[in-house]
């Protein structure tokens, strides 16, 4: 099966989706604590999630965003794009927005993306995210 190509001149340059079971994040936090949190989440993401009664669904949704962005970039998580290269923030109205590190912006620019639209959701047991990368 061939992967469909995005038409020349289109505004969308990448799409990614991810889902994760919340218990996996909860277990990683219990098992590895700050080492896991600091490797995967920015201080602001940690603060935002840890103030909740149950931070695991919030963390899982942000984990899914990072995976979805890496899939939209076509890199996966690794040398070209890392966990801390994208940060999920919220606008005043609650809309989630993706902010990129300098290294993350380099990966975005490499494929001609100037911004990312993200959507995330979580239930008690599953968190999901979708990313659409938009041309500059």
In a domain, 66, yes or no: yes
Confidence at residue 35, expressed as pLDDT on a 0 to 100 scale:
98
- Contact criterion met (CB below 8 Å) for 113 and 106: no
- Any domain includes 57: yes
Take residue 99 and report the two structure tokens written for it.
């902010």
* Residue 32, domain CATH: 3.90.470.20
> Does some domain include residue 6?
no
pLDDT of residue 6 exceeding 70, the answer is no
Number of domains in the chain: 1
Answer yes or no: is pLDDT of 3 > 70: no
Q: Taking residues 28-36, report their average pLDDT.
A: 97
Residue 110 domain-assigned (yes or no): yes
For the segment 35-87, what is each residue's pLDDT rounded down to a tens digit? 999 999 999 999 999 999 999 999 999 999 999 999 999 999 999 999 999 99
**81: number of Cβ within 10 Å:** 25
Give a yes or no: residue 117 inside a domain: yes
Beta strands (DSSP E) in 54-111 are 86-90, 96-100
Q: Is residue 102 a part of any domain in this protein? A: yes
3-state helix, strand, coil in the chain (%, to 5): 40, 30, 30
Look up the domain containing 44 and give its range: 12-135
Average pLDDT over residues 1-13: 70
Phi-psi region of 115 (alpha: psi -120 to 50; beta: other; left: phi over 0): beta
Contact at 8 Å (CB) between 65 and 19? no
Is-above-0.85 flag for pTM?
A: yes
């Amino acid at each position: 099966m061939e992967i469909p190509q995005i038409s020349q001149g289109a505004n969308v340059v990448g799409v990614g989706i991810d889902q994760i079971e919340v218990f996996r994040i909860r277990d990683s936090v219990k098992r590895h604590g700050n080492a896991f949190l600091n490797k995967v989440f920015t201080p602001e993401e940690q603060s935002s999630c840890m103030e909740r009664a149950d931070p695991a669904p919030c963390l899982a949704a942000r984990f899914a965003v990072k995976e979805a962005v890496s899939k939209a970039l076509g890199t996966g998580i690794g040398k070209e794009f890392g966990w801390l290269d994208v940060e999920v923030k919220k606008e005043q109205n609650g809309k989630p927005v993706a902010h990129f590190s300098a290294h993350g912006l380099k990966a975005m620019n490499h494929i001609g993306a100037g911004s990312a639209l993200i959507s995330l959701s979580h239930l008690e047991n599953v968190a999901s995210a979708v990313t659409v990368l938009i041309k500059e």
